[in-house]
Structure 1
Amino acid sequence: MWSSQAASRIVNFAANPIAANPMRTGSGTASSRPGKWRVEPVTRLLLALMVWVGGCVGKSVTEPAHAESNGEGHQDGEGGADSPFPIVDLSLSLEGSPYAEAARDWEQEDWGSAVDAFRAVSNDPSVVVTEDQRQSALLLLGLSQLRADQFSDAAATLESFAATPSVLRDYALLSAADAASRVPDVTTMQRCLEGLQDGVLPAYRALLEALLAVEQGDHQGAVPLFDEAMAGSTGRNLRRAMLMRARSLLALEKVEEAAGGFRALVEAFPSTKEGRSARRELDAIPSATKPATTKDPLVEAQALFGRHRSDEAIAKLEGLLKTTKLETSPERWCEANMLMGKSYTKLRKHDKAAVYYDLVVGSCADADLELKALYNGGRAHWNANEPQKAIDQFEALIAAFPEHSYADDAYLYIARIQDEQGKAQDAERTLLTQLRQYPEGDMAKDAHWLLFLRYYRSGDYAAAAQYAESVKDRREDDLYSRGRVDYFHGRALEHLKKPAEAQALFEAVIEAQPLSYYALLSLGRLKVIAPKDAEAFIARLREFPFVERGMMVEVRPVEMATSADFVRGIELLRLGLDDWAEVELEKAVAAAADKETANWTLAAILNAVGSVPRSHRMAAQMATLNPRYFTSADEQAQWALAYPRPFLELVEHAAQKQGLAKEIIYSIMREESGFEPGIESWANARGLMQLMLPTAQSLATQAGVDKPDEAALFVPSTAIPLGSAYLSKLSKTYNQHPAFIIAGYNGGQGNVNRWLQDFGDSSLDLWVEQIPFGQTRDYTKRVLTTYWRYGWIYNEVADMAVFDPSIPAREAAAFVGE
């Protein structure tokens, strides 16, 4: 029986008891917005960011939101005069203060309650607050009033805040101008915009200047400002700019252009307030002065397809194709049929998809459409079990587009089909032709692999080894291939009774492809054939003990710590205005001379305040550009940012309840959702663990949670127990082996059982390579790698995830059949 040794050897690394928020502790409660989580009072209050700025010992490098201090702020840093690091305080400004409840109402987006709570504290003479707290509360009060549609009050409050020196003065003035624009109060708008100094949020400023121009009757001047605003905005500001721009165009009697603007807003944001307004205003344009139709079914179908509503797209296209003919509207006919094929492909109805791709082939003048129809059609016929039709499409693609990158893909697919048909010699000839025609193509690595595999799988290990030795540049350039042929070359040498040569290859893969899938497999074999050497090898790769880093972050390069952008970003973070904060911090990074180091600092800051989805993506991109074993505690901390452990309390509880290692839960969560609680896939899988509602409901009792509805799957305290219950079910089915748990989570237990039945006598390493679903095969490799990396980063026993990949798959899974 395979088992992990992780449970008793976990070291609590990034999960500090004073962690930044529930992304780190799991203690939060849901807000009204999926993915935004309430911060409990104890979580961020004591958190501080340590900043290294050379000789500035014991001094803060930022000023508070309010420039005056009564001596109760962080003057000398919590480390005092002996601390080598000045402190930038990341605690939420109002946590632990009399305004704490009001601040929580703000964070929960309960604007009316926030307004009342802020006012109640400020108007109570018996309540003692610092001047910094009062100013922070004043800014959040004004923003709450703005959100609560109390526009005149909001403008007055925000201008009052801006009257006192503050690094956030321009944010208050912009928000005051926004509030005044909704009254409208032209005088206040103009006064606030003219008072701006720092150039913050240029797209927001452009929007407000455009609205001011509209109020002053200058629609001509407003339109380019709306364009500038649209180019730099998202969300509500983007929708507002689109709507108001269309209205200005209408005022300028540019009716067709205005109608196009209204229509674009309706199509992009149909269910929003602005989208509904645009629909009404579009419908109100007299038919004699606007385009004949306000709806283009092809555009609507494209939008539906983009939102993963393929069934609805098909219904829309079916109606369109009843009236659209190739002879009269060739471009629309071609686009509609191509989109029908893609929609059926997304629904995995490959036989129906192939029909529409075939209609496009040979009928459409657009060469790019022809190319994609041949490519997609070949794959559709292959998936529909029509191998000869698939080969015909791929051969037509090669003949028509021999210089395109799809051509070597086509050769590879033909070879794979021929191999499935038992035509091994034909497949070999096709692969050799592919390598001769496209030696540097992106599919060369797979051609070399299939040629090697032909010998290996047939038991001709000498020929396999000879082929591996003959090809030096195998183009192995991704996670799924780096070290693949060398690893299996080593396995072939094992079969040839050459253990010393095999060991040398395994060691070479481990060193040359750090923390990769094939390094994991190589380490598994090394532990079996040379256990003492493996132990020494691991010790050499990891020369230092695990280091508890907590939440300490040194800001480098040093000049960034004192930049105005950085200072504003930190103050915004302390107020919980994270979106604005990220804009400022990104500006500070952009201005830094050493951008890579600055980006690491930004990732650490975002991680510290709980913006884990963003921080881990940044860190993962940087860490995996140059993967290596850690040579310092700093590098280890960087990898911990790329492989974080948010919601730790929830994960620990679920792991203990379900008998799992935490690493398997985190590996799945990282892959499935990127730690975004509110994410939903095109197939309606939801939440951190990407569960389908029927599956989740069936697991509720085992997970110990109430039977969930759709909304509950976006709540971490529900999603993590449910996902862990499913992992536990797979674990019990497959002998606790991570490879089968991971394959089952993606491909389904029924498919894993079938693959174990069909080719489970293959060794585990070869069984993974034979998984017929490319997505599941790659997923299994990728998540097993993540599982190992979590173990390597956080555990004293660095090889805790290692298993023997030579064991037959059926034996490794303890599978006895269905």
Structure 2
Amino acid sequence: MAAGQSEAAIATWQQLRQTYGDDPAAAAALYQLGQHDQRYLDQLLQRFPAHPRSVEVALARLSTASAPEQIRSLLLLVARHGLHHAEAEAVLKRLVTEYGASLRPEDWQAIGFGYWKKDIYGQAGPAYAKAPATPQTLYRAARGLQIGQRRDAAIATYRRLAQAFPKAPETAQGLLHLATLVPAQDALTILDQVIQRFPQRAAEALSRRADRLEALNSPTSAAQARQSLLSQYPEAEATIELRLNRARAAAAQQNWQAAIDWVAPISQADLTTEAAAEAIFWQGKWTLKAGRSDQAQQLFEQVLQAHPDSYFAWRAAVALGWNVGDFTTLRHQQPSVTAPPQRGPLPAGSAALEELYRLGQDRLAWNRWQVEVADPQQLTVDEQFTDGLMRLGTGDHLDGIYQLTSLANRDDSQARVQQLQQAPDYWHGLYPLLFSNLITHWSQQRQLNPLLVTALIRQESRFEPQIRSVAGAVGLMQVMPATADWIRGQIGLNDYRLDHPEDNVKLGTWYLDYTHREYDNHSLFAVASYNAGPGNVARWLRRGGFRDADEFAEQIPFAETKGYVEAVFGGYWNYLRLHDPAIARLPGINAVADSSSGLISHYNTHR
């Protein structure tokens, strides 16, 4: 409310404050009234500390506050409720350096959570070490200390976690990390504890035990451990990886039947993991090489039906001859893209929040959501889903996509997670169509498939224009400054800013066009080159040893680039199946449920 606003407007804000006293709508009234009377801002901070307006007020007051206790209180408010703000990291650092001696354990937990959310794990560890002891805080303390290269402190904290909370899921993960920090013989003892006490992690521990025995020159014991893995945990992720490795060794000798036999049990089980999709796809490839095309077709169809969102579903669709673009053809394809459907219901939050969300009032919805969340450090599954959508609505694409993606990693309520993953908003949140006009324009200019460019941007930056990598890459397409300067000379560009979306996409699409031209429009090599550099891809091609593009992708020696290729083309496939009507209508590939009344009713029962 600007200075000099009419008395009628002030009266309206007063009426709103009085009528909706405890509702987040009153926070806006207090903020506006506070522009004339600071006492209303005091009420705002006291009654609605989580509201984004309160964070603004706290940051503004920090510039003039002089009393240490007031400064500390304002800093803590921002640390707890303002992690979305650009100044949050500086606030966390100031709390630690200037007020560390006076902070309570609960304050240290808030600081640890802040650093953890910002991926500053080396600082999160020491903060969590001073927080109240829970399985989560002790695990994060130990893991943060480990990442921060404080090995002895990490070992001691992992052991403290195991002693204080012997049955907690975090303890299982902590023991697996601890086994990497201690001598091999001690590691075997720790891994045995995981096998005995945590059935859900036993297969992983047994696989690591086999690797340790191999390193100790005990091949017979290692072989026995792997045989136990195969017989006792046939559906575990570690078992799938073992079967795939054995199958690949047989395929390298062109022993197709042996390769098929190794992975056949996986296709006969009802498994939903990416590793299972990979195994079934390769079983199809090897079955095709063995001359059994009908069986191969069934396996490729199984990948599409059981794993429709997988990178390997796209590769299976290509193997079946579907018009979805292959490595050698998708560059020039121009898919027909439709906008996402109307927003669906929210599984958490008030009716007012849902109304704002479905009307597209994203900033107001976000403001309300900050106040409605009971504990941002311990979100329920429904709250995490809603939080992801709220963040996406306000432009926090990095954390929004992360919140939705990481639902699959939760140990609790997996049945509920699977229900939420049937919602259209889940998939459209994971693969949002952002900067679509800009991407379409420059894709047309460079003769690139716009969905490939969209998927690459999603992988590079999660659509964050200001993001910078540790290597110095900037912006939506993560262009290195030296590369941008070279491109400027190629295209005669006078001036540019890499953190400006228009300039970044102009330069990034030019480079993606360049890598395509370097490799005769072969998108696999072009995308791999975008990540690893043309020199590395050229060396891999000279090395040879593969018979087709899928084998090349499998044999990429850089783990980061191999994962990057699968993520970009998996993203392309998901954008295609979600937004191209011709592809979305194909049977068995689109797991997105309709926003039917039944689904809405089902959500509302979980409020």
* TM-score normalised per structure 2: 0.63
Q: Secondary structure at the match of 1:699?
A: helix
Q: Does 1:681 align with 2:466?
A: no
Unaligned segments of structure 2, at least 5 residues: 125-140, 160-173, 195-200, 326-334, 375-379, 410-416, 586-607
Change (3 A) 1:762 1:559: closer
Change (3 A) 1:306 1:707: farther
1:162 to 13, 37, 47: 13
Q: Does 1:553 align with 2:342?
A: yes
Q: Rg bigger for which structure?
A: 1
Residue in structure 1 matched with residue 563 of structure 2 by the alignment:
778
Residue in structure 2 matched with residue 232 of structure 1 by the alignment:
81
Q: Distance in 1 between matches of 2:531 and 2:88?
A: 38
Q: Does 1:665 align with 2:453?
A: yes
Over aligned residues, Cα RMSD in angstroms?
6.1
Q: Distance in 2 between matches of 1:768 and 1:483?
A: 15
Tell me by how many angstroms 1:671 deviates. Answer: 0.8
Q: Which amino acid aligns with 1:518?
A: F
Would the aligned equivalents of 2:33 and 2:40 in 1 still touch at CA under 8 Å? no
Q: Distance in 1 between matches of 2:353 and 2:189?
A: 56
* TM-score normalised per structure 1: 0.49
Cα offsets for 1:639-671 (capped at 9, x unmatched): 444323322232223212222111221111001
Q: Distance in 2 between matches of 1:425 and 1:157?
A: 86
Higher mean alpha-carbon deviation, 469-478 vs 518-527, is at: 469-478
Tell me by how many angstroms 1:430 deviates. Answer: 6.5
Change (3 A) 1:443 1:760: same
Cα offsets for 1:45-93 (capped at 9, x unmatched): xxxxxxxxxxxxxxxxxxxxxxxxxxxxxxxxxxxxxxxxxxxxxxxxx
Unaligned segments of structure 1, at least 5 residues: 1-138, 143-152, 181-187, 250-254, 270-301, 308-334, 345-355, 378-392, 536-544, 801-818
Q: Does 1:508 align with 2:353?
A: no
Change (3 A) 1:554 1:438: closer
Q: Secondary structure at the match of 1:403?
A: helix
Q: Distance in 1 between matches of 2:221 and 2:388?
A: 51
Tell me by how many angstroms 1:616 deviates. Answer: 5.3
Change (3 A) 1:366 1:586: closer
**How many residues of Structure 1 are paired with residues of Structure 2 in the alignment?**
511
Residue in structure 1 matched with residue 208 of structure 2 by the alignment:
410
Would the aligned equivalents of 2:531 and 2:564 in 1 still touch at CA under 8 Å? yes
Q: Secondary structure at the match of 1:683?
A: coil
Which one has more relative contact order, counting CA pairs under 8 Å at least 6 apart? 1
Q: Distance in 2 between matches of 1:514 and 1:453?
A: 24
2:256 to 437, 461, 464: 461
Would the aligned equivalents of 1:398 and 1:407 in 2 still touch at CA under 8 Å? no
Change (3 A) 1:156 1:581: farther
Q: Distance in 2 between matches of 1:504 and 1:498?
A: 10
Change (3 A) 1:553 1:258: closer
Q: Distance in 2 between matches of 1:468 and 1:558?
A: 39
Tell me by how many angstroms 1:791 deviates. Answer: 2.4
1:257 to 95, 102, 105: 102
Residue in structure 2 matched with residue 314 of structure 1 by the alignment:
none
Tell me by how many angstroms 1:716 deviates. Answer: 0.5
Tell me by how many angstroms 1:683 deviates. Answer: 2.3
Identical amino acids, percent of aligned pairs: 20
Q: Distance in 2 between matches of 1:495 and 1:782?
A: 27
Residue in structure 1 matched with residue 479 of structure 2 by the alignment:
691
Cα offsets for 1:201-247 (capped at 9, x unmatched): 469769989x99xx9x9999998898667533444689789979999
Tell me by how many angstroms 1:446 deviates. Answer: 1.0
Describe how 1:48-87 pairs up with structure 2 within 5 A: none
Would the aligned equivalents of 2:207 and 2:226 in 1 still touch at CA under 8 Å? no
Q: Which amino acid aligns with 2:247?
A: F
Cα offsets for 1:675-730 (capped at 9, x unmatched): 1111112222221111221122212244564455xxx2211011111111221121
2:550 to 765, 781, 794: 765
Higher mean alpha-carbon deviation, 433-442 vs 714-723, is at: 433-442
1:489 to 262, 283, 287: 283
Q: Which amino acid aligns with 1:403?
A: Q
Q: Distance in 2 between matches of 1:460 and 1:629?
A: 39
Q: Secondary structure at the match of 1:714?
A: coil
Tell me by how many angstroms 1:582 deviates. Answer: 0.6
Q: Secondary structure at the match of 1:402?
A: helix
Q: Distance in 1 between matches of 2:338 and 2:103?
A: 59
Tell me by how many angstroms 1:510 deviates. Answer: 1.6
Would the aligned equivalents of 1:555 and 1:601 in 2 still touch at CA under 8 Å? no
Q: Which amino acid aligns with 1:503?
A: Q
Would the aligned equivalents of 2:343 and 2:358 in 1 still touch at CA under 8 Å? no
Q: Secondary structure at the match of 1:779?
A: helix
Residue in structure 1 matched with residue 28 of structure 2 by the alignment:
171
Q: Does 1:526 align with 2:320?
A: yes
Would the aligned equivalents of 1:679 and 1:686 in 2 still touch at CA under 8 Å? yes
Q: Distance in 1 between matches of 2:356 and 2:96?
A: 31
Q: Secondary structure at the match of 2:437?
A: helix
Change (3 A) 1:677 1:155: farther
Q: Which amino acid aligns with 1:375?
A: T
Tell me by how many angstroms 1:795 deviates. Answer: 3.1
Q: Distance in 1 between matches of 2:388 and 2:89?
A: 27
Q: Distance in 1 between matches of 2:304 and 2:40?
A: 65
Tell me by how many angstroms 1:546 deviates. Answer: 7.5
Q: Distance in 2 between matches of 1:430 and 1:559?
A: 45
Would the aligned equivalents of 1:603 and 1:615 in 2 still touch at CA under 8 Å? yes
Would the aligned equivalents of 1:546 and 1:795 in 2 still touch at CA under 8 Å? yes
Structure with more helix by fraction:
2
Change (3 A) 1:738 1:436: same
Describe how 1:469-484 pairs up with structure 2 within 5 A: 469-470=264-265, 478-479=273-274, 481-484=275-278
Q: Distance in 2 between matches of 1:474 and 1:667?
A: 31
Q: Does 1:582 align with 2:366?
A: yes
Would the aligned equivalents of 1:207 and 1:241 in 2 still touch at CA under 8 Å? no
2:532 to 720, 726, 747: 747
Would the aligned equivalents of 1:688 and 1:719 in 2 still touch at CA under 8 Å? yes
Tell me by how many angstroms 1:674 deviates. Answer: 0.7
Tell me by how many angstroms 1:553 deviates. Answer: 3.1
Q: Secondary structure at the match of 2:246?
A: helix
Q: Distance in 2 between matches of 1:499 and 1:762?
A: 18
Residue in structure 2 matched with residue 389 of structure 1 by the alignment:
none
Cα offsets for 1:120-158 (capped at 9, x unmatched): xxxxxxxxxxxxxxxxxxx3x36xxxxxxxxxx899999
Would the aligned equivalents of 1:374 and 1:397 in 2 still touch at CA under 8 Å? yes
Would the aligned equivalents of 2:473 and 2:481 in 1 still touch at CA under 8 Å? yes
Change (3 A) 1:725 1:411: farther
Tell me by how many angstroms 1:673 deviates. Answer: 0.8
Tell me by how many angstroms 1:774 deviates. Answer: 2.0
Change (3 A) 1:415 1:679: farther
Residue in structure 2 matched with residue 499 of structure 1 by the alignment:
293
